[in-house]
Amino acid sequence: MNTEQLVERLIAFAEAGNQQKIQLENGTIIQGWVMEITDEALLISSGYSDKVGKDQWINHQDLLTAKLFYWDNQCDAWQAFHIAQ
């Protein structure tokens, strides 16, 4: 998968639900909203306000080995999202 294809899949991930959850290979879980996607990384905001919010960049290499989920409002449940399709 080239960078352009990966960015397109990450955009689909960001648009899949109203919130995203990323579980990195080391077990770290980051839940929030995708704010930006570049050719190198994805920016996710895990806070609910400017004072409490935390923005974190996750590089593409880490995303390729992470487990991705999005919140599905129709099911009221987390749904798995797969980078490769």
Per residue in 19-71, pLDDT (tens digit) is 999 999 999 999 999 999 999 999 999 876 556 778 999 999 999 999 999 99
What pTM value is reported for the model? 0.88
pLDDT of res. 1: 81
Domain map of the chain by residue range?
3-81
Pick one of 1.10.760, 2.30.30, 3.10.180, 2.60.40 as the CATH number of 3-81.
2.30.30
**Full DSSP string of the chain:** --HHHHHHHHHHHHHHSSSEEEE-TTS-EEEEEEEEE-SSEEEEE--SSTTT--EEEEEHHHHHTSEEEEEETTTTEEEEE-S--
User: Cα-atom radius of gyration of the chain, to the nearest Å?
Assistant: 12
